[in-house]
């Protein structure tokens, strides 16, 4: 696979470049499998800065601010496998079907991305083969492996959202995102509301759909896994203490939910 990877992606990522796939705790024993599509904000060298100033490349349009710190802590606390993606969503969005326009956005919020203008079919294919495919192939393989070993998998897709989008402030501290799963969303919503100090979004600020999402529909729903997306507001997890607090809270809640699921035949 390494040689295939090097050959396929030689024009965008070489063997000396950082792999798009970041993993932690691959031998973790938890049924929870954590994913993070917008974990990093690297840009492959041949793409330069995509024509954007640094001030744009650190904003939420480039990645999910704060989620890496939450995801890594949560993976440790739960003893759960984390599979995450290190390159910027501005290069290719790993939570979009590759055929939709927002896969390689030319506009994000109010920012046009010069490096994404006028791409050839080949340019698009290169990004997909270098970043999108290895990440999703890896998640696929991990789920296969777990199924083969008769280990249960509960897919949890971790994201963060900007507190203000297009001038509109968002009231939620955390949101649950789901579509077809009927098992986990009500349990998580109930647990988050029981915390008492949270404004909880029910499919807010986003809902999951086949056109606007990839990880949940493809790895969760199509494979019949219990699944959920979690969105945490970025100002709450912009520093390490916030990341630690939210990881602790989610670890406690998810452990309680795991115990409940074990009592149900669907688990």
User: What residues make contact with Zn ion under the rule CB under 5 A?
Assistant: 38, 64, 159
Q: Which of 142, 154, 147 is nearest to 267 (CA)?
A: 154
Q: What angle do CA 49, 52, 57 make, to 5 degrees?
A: 80
**38 vs 136, which CB is nearer to Zn ion?**
38
Kindly state the smallest distance separating residue 160's Cβ from Zn ion, in Å: 7
Closest to Zn ion by CB, 158 vs 200, is: 158
Nearest distance, CB of residue 220 and Zn ion, angstroms: 15
C-alpha distances (whole Å) from 10 to each of 3, 46, 94, 125, 176 are: 10, 11, 20, 13, 38
End-to-end CA distance of the chain: 33
Indicate the residue among 38 and 138 with the shorter CB distance to Zn ion: 38
Query: What gap in Å lies between CA 90 and CA 193, rounded to an integer?
Result: 33
For the bound state, the minimum distance from the C-beta of residue 150 to Zn ion, rounded and expressed in Å, comes to 31
User: Given the complex with Zn ion, which of 64 and 258 has the nearer CB atom?
Assistant: 64
Using only the alpha carbons of the chain, give its radius of gyration: 18
Q: Smallest distance, Å, CB 53 to Zn ion?
A: 22
Residue with tokens 């000396």: 16
Q: From residue 109, give the alpha-carbon distance in Å to each of 69, 88, 164, 166, 200.
A: 24, 15, 11, 6, 23
Least distance from C-beta 165 to Zn ion, angstroms?
A: 13
Q: Which residue is nearest to Zn ion (CB)?
A: 159
| Complex with Zn ion: residue 96 or 159, whichever CB lies closer | 159
């Amino acid at each position: 696979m390494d040689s295939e990877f090097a050959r396929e992606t030689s024009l965008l990522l070489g063997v000396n470049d950082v792999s798009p796939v970041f993993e932690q705790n691959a031998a973790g024993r938890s049924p929870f499998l954590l994913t993070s599509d917008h974990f990093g904000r690297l840009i492959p060298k041949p793409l330069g800065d995509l024509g954007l100033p640094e001030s744009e490349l650190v904003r939420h349009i480039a990645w999910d601010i704060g989620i890496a710190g939450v995801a890594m802590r949560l993976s440790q606390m739960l003893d759960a496998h984390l599979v995450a993606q290190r390159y910027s969503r501005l290069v290719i969005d790993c939570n979009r079907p590759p055929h939709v326009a927002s896969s390689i956005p030319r506009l994000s919020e109010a920012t046009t991305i010069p490096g994404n203008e006028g791409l050839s079919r080949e340019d698009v294919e290169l990004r997909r083969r270098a970043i999108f495919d290895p990440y999703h192939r890896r998640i696929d393989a991990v789920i296969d492996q777990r199924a083969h070993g008769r280990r249960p998998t509960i897919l949890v897709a971790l994201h963060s959202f900007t507190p203000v989008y297009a001038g509109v402030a968002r009231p939620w501290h955390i949101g649950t995102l789901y579509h077809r799963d009927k098992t986990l969303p009500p349990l998580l919503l109930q647990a988050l509301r029981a915390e008492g100090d949270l404004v909880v979004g029910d499919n807010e600020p986003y809902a999951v759909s086949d056109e606007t999402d990839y990880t949940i529909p493809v790895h969760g729903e199509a494979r019949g896994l219990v699944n959920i997306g979690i969105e945490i507001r970025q100002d709450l997890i912009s520093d390490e203490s916030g990341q630690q607090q939210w990881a602790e809270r989610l670890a406690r809640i998810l452990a309680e939910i795991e115990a409940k699921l074990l009592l149900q035949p669907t688990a």
